[in-house]
């Protein structure tokens, strides 16, 4: 995406993750922060090193940082000047915020008709919930993911990450790419990408919509397995580790029975067909669990993968750091951060053969580090004027 300039507005996760994705593949990302407080992500989370939050250098990598007060008219006019020189604007404010700042899509298109505008919010730009504050937790709940997660009869848990924010960012980034292609191939007009956390979660519900529509089926949480799909679960090894074993296809099922030395199950009426195995999943899981409990996790992983049965240990982040596949794929990159020193981070994904992208620099800690470069170099503002803008709390 070299040659594409992106203005990133907003804070925390969803909007900035869009910028990170595009920046990883070469887009010039100009991240705008309020000169009064900056992005909350700078100090987000519980894990800090030398007083620095470790989320910021990864999420804000490859970005140029400027400060700009969008609540004042002079700041709004400066943003419009940046818009005239850019391809994409990304924001994740509550719907209506840009409009209150005289920065609506219609007003921005008057300046740059080709501008692509990605708007990420909790519930979308329209509808009765549009004005609500939106976080991943609520979007996951109302998007249907929380309901089917967890164990029946217990509180629906969340994953230990802000999944909804990341999903919305990924959908928004896809939208940006499609809108840029349409603009460049079909006449030069920009458009709005309206990505909501709730709908991004909802999009992952697989067959649940037609199941309810045609059959009235409400899928319930099923714990560590999927209802009707067996054997496919997590099983505890002799050395106390959890391992996924998934043999829920005919060829995999036959291989598993052979490895377990239980060919008799191939002719057992309870397990003879895919549907029968699903109906008798509890008993089948008991048998597989007993087999797994007699072996260490490394043995389970080795013998099943050698036999062509889907199997994988449940990894902690420490396990990921030691895994040879991650190493071979260079999935973890080493970066140098001027404040925290050497820092490992996720590499750029997915891998592209011709334009693979790169994690060039970590998120800078100094607010407005690139003010002179962007305001001076791009907009032609001289030092004296830039000093005045700073004194007036515009930048």
Query: Residue 47 has what pLDDT?
Result: 81
Query: Residue 143 has what pLDDT?
Result: 97
Angle between helices 163-185 and 14-24 (to 10 degrees): 50
pLDDT digit string, tens, across residues 203-247 = 999 999 999 999 999 999 999 998 889 999 999 999 999 999 999
* Domain 5-203+329-391 fold: Rossmann fold (3.40.50)
In this prediction, what percent of the chain has a pLDDT beyond 90?
Answer: 92
Average confidence (pLDDT) over 14-23: 97
Tokens for 248, please give them: 């829920």
Query: Residue 69 has what pLDDT?
Result: 98
Give the pLDDT band (50/70/90) at residue 175. very high
Instruction: For the chain, give every domain's residue range.
Output: 5-203+329-391, 232-236+242-313
Query: Residue 306 has what pLDDT?
Result: 97
pLDDT digit string, tens, across residues 63-105 = 999 999 999 999 999 999 999 999 999 999 999 999 999 999 9
Give the predicted TM-score (pTM) of the model: 0.94
The answer on pLDDT for 35 being more than 90 is yes
Query: Residue 187 has what pLDDT?
Result: 85
Average confidence (pLDDT) over 324-345: 95
Query: Residue 324 has what pLDDT?
Result: 97
The answer on pLDDT for 299 being more than 80 is yes
In this prediction, what percent of the chain has a pLDDT beyond 70?
Answer: 100
Give the pLDDT band (50/70/90) at residue 41. very high
Give the pLDDT band (50/70/90) at residue 262. very high
Give the pLDDT band (50/70/90) at residue 276. very high
The answer on pLDDT for 46 being more than 90 is no
The answer on pLDDT for 192 being more than 80 is yes
- In terms of pLDDT, which residue wins out, 124 or 187? 124
Query: Residue 45 has what pLDDT?
Result: 79
Q: Is 165 among the residues known to form the active site?
A: yes
Average confidence (pLDDT) over 359-368: 96
Chain mean pLDDT for the chain: 96
Query: Residue 323 has what pLDDT?
Result: 97
The answer on pLDDT for 188 being more than 90 is no
Closest to 150 in 3D by CA, of 141, 317, 136, 311? 141
Q: Which of 24, 39, 87, 165 is catalytic?
A: 165
CATH number of 232-236+242-313: 3.30.1540.10
Query: Residue 185 has what pLDDT?
Result: 94
The answer on pLDDT for 108 being more than 80 is yes
Query: Residue 44 has what pLDDT?
Result: 87
């Amino acid at each position: 995406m070299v040659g594409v300039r992106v203005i990133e507005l907003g804070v925390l996760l969803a909007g900035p993750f869009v910028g990170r994705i595009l920046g990883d593949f070469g887009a010039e990302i100009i991240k705008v922060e309020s000169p009064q407080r900056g992005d909350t992500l700078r100090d987000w989370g519980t894990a800090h090193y030398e007083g620095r939050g470790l989320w910021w250098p990864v999420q804000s990598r490859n970005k140029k940082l400027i400060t700009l007060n969008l609540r004042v008219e002079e700041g709004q006019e400066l943003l419009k000047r940046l818009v005239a020189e850019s391809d994409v604007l990304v924001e994740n404010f509550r719907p209506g915020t840009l409009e209150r700042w005289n920065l609506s899509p219609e007003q921005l298109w008057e300046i740059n008709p080709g501008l692509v505008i990605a708007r990420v919010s909790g519930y979308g730009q329209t509808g009765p919930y549009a004005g609500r504050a939106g976080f991943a937790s609520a979007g996951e709940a109302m998007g249907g993911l929380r309901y089917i997660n967890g164990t029946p009869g217990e509180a629906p848990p969340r994953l230990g990450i802000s999944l909804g924010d990341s999903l919305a960012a990924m959908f928004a980034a896809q939208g940006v790419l499609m809108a840029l292609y349409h603009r460049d191939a079909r006449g030069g007009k920009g458009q709005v990408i309206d990505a909501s956390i709730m709908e991004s979660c909802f999009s992952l519900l697989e067959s649940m919509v037609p199941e309810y529509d045609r059959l009235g089926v409400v899928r319930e949480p099923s714990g560590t397995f999927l209802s009707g799909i067996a054997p496919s679960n997590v099983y505890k090894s002799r050395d106390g580790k959890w391992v996924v074993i998934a043999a829920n296809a005919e060829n995999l099922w036959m291989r598993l029975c052979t490895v377990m030395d239980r060919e008799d199950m191939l002719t057992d009426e309870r397990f003879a067909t895919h549907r029968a195995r699903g109906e008798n999943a509890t008993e089948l899981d008991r048998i597989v669990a007993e087999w797994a409990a007699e072996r260490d996790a490394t043995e389970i992983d080795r013998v099943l993968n050698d036999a062509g049965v889907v199997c994988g240990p449940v990894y902690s982040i420490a396990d990921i750091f030691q895994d040879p596949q991650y190493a071979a794929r260079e999935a973890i990159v080493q970066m140098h951060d001027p404040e925290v020193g050497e820092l490992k981070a996720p590499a750029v994904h997915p891998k592209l053969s011709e334009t693979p992208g790169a994690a060039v620099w970590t998120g800078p800690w100094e607010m407005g580090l690139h003010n002179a470069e962007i305001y001076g170099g791009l907009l032609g503002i001289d030092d004296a004027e830039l000093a005045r803008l700073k004194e007036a709390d515009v930048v």
